[in-house]
Amino acid sequence: MTNAWWLNPAREIDQDSREQALARQQQLTKPTGSLGQLEAVAVELAGLQGQLNPRVDKLWIAIFAGDHGVVAEGVSAYPQEVTGQMLHNFVMGGAAISVLAKQLSAQLDVVDLGTVSPLNLPGVRHLNLGAGTANFAKAPAMTEEQLERALAGGRESVQRAKAAGTELFIGGEMGIGNTTAASALACSLLNCPAPLLVGPGTGLDAQGVQRKVQVIEQALQLHAAQSGDALGSLRTFGGFEIAALTGAYLACAQEGIVALVDGFICTVAALVAVRLNPSCRQWLFFGHRGAEPGHRHVLEALKAEPLLELGLRLGEGSGAALAVPLLRLACELHNGMATFAEAAVADRPA
C-alpha cells in the first residue's frame, strides 16, 4: 500500500503523570486498592492524558456502517436493507446508541462506508466505497484500495474528534452479517476453530449457527494463505466498518485519544489494530464482555479486562457507552477525594 500510516508509533505514555496519579491513589482516604479496577483506570488515564487529574467529559461516538457480501450465504437472521434503515434511525435519534449519546452529551458521528442500497441521508457521512464488500466465501472481501480507504475513514473520524477536543473516543458498528465477518477474521488471526468463536449474532437458531460455521470454515480453507496476517486477513474477511474501526483505534493511539472498545466486532477490530501496531494497545480500554461466545476469546488474546459484563449483544457502541459513567466516576473519585492529610484522618502506620 502507498502510505502505511497505521505503522506510525502511538503517542508515549507520560510516566511522570502516571506515577503522580499512583502516589495520589495511595494517599486518598481509603484502603489502598479498595476501589479495585477504578483505581487502575484513573492511574492509566492520567498517564495517557499527561495530567494528574484525568477527565473523560468530552465524548465522541463514531458509528461505522457497511454491508457484507457474505450475507448471500444465508448467515444472517435479518435482511441486508436493515443496515441502511438503521443509519436513518441513528440520525433520527431512535437507536439505542442515539439515546445513550444524548444522555452522555456525546457527539455522534455516523459514517456510511458502503451499503447495498444507495443512500443520501442528512446527518450521515457517505464514503461510497462500494455496495458492500464482496462475498468472502468466494473471493477477498475488499480490494487493497477499498481497505486503505476504509482504514482512512476511521482515521478521519478521529481527526474530527481531535479537532473537537475529544477526551474519549467510542467506535460502534452497523452492518448485517458483520458477526460472520468478525468471526472469520478472528479465526484467521487466532488460528481458532470456527465452532469456538461463532455465535448467533442477531439471533440465529442452532441450524443457522451451524450454517455460519460451515461458511466460515470453507472460507478459511479457501483463504488459508492469509492465516495470521493481520492486514491480509482484514482485507479478505473483514468489512468496511471493521476496517474503519481498526483505523480509528490506530489513529486514537497516534493522536493521543483514549479509545473505549465496544463488543465482539469492535474487539476483533482492536485485535487487528494491535497486531498491525502493538504500540496502540495501551490506548485501548474495553467497555464490556458481551454474550457472543467469541468475544471472551478475543478479549483474552488482548489481555483485556472489561469494565462490565451485562450479557449485551447489540453492538452500535452501546456497551462501551454504558461504561462511560464508570470511567467518569473513576476520574471524579481520583480527582475529588481528600487525602489523609487533607481530611486529618490517620493513615495506617508505614
CATH number, residue 204: 3.40.50.10210
- Determine the average pLDDT of the residues in 231-242: 98
Does the residue 128 lie in any domain?
yes
Domain assignment present for 291:
yes
Domain that holds residue 290: 59-327
Residue 75 resides in a domain: yes
Q: Is residue 350 part of a domain?
A: no
Q: Which tens digits make up the pLDDT trace of 272-320?
A: 999 999 999 999 999 999 999 999 999 999 999 999 999 999 999 999 9
Per cent of the chain over pLDDT 70 is 99
pLDDT the model gives residue 346:
87
**pLDDT tens sequence across 162-220:** 999 999 999 999 999 999 999 999 999 999 999 999 999 888 999 999 999 999 999 99
The one-letter amino acid code at 221 reads Q
In a domain, 7, yes or no: no
Total structural domains within the chain: 1
Q: Is residue 49 part of a domain?
A: no
User: pLDDT tens, 321-346?
Assistant: 999 999 999 999 999 999 999 999 88
Give CB contacts under 8 A, 24+ apart, made by 17-24.
17/46, 17/47, 17/49, 17/50, 17/51, 17/52, 18/43, 18/44, 18/46, 18/47, 20/46, 20/52, 21/46, 21/47, 21/52, 21/54, 21/334, 24/52, 24/334, 24/339
Q: Please indicate, yes or no, if residue 132 is contained in any of the structural domains.
A: yes
Q: What is the pLDDT of residues 243-272, one digit of tens each?
A: 999 999 999 999 999 999 999 999 999 999
Judge whether 85 lies within some domain.
yes
pLDDT at 151 over 90: yes
Question: What is the set of active-site residues?
Answer: 316
Judge whether residue 347 has pLDDT over 90. no
Is this prediction's pTM over 0.85?
A: yes
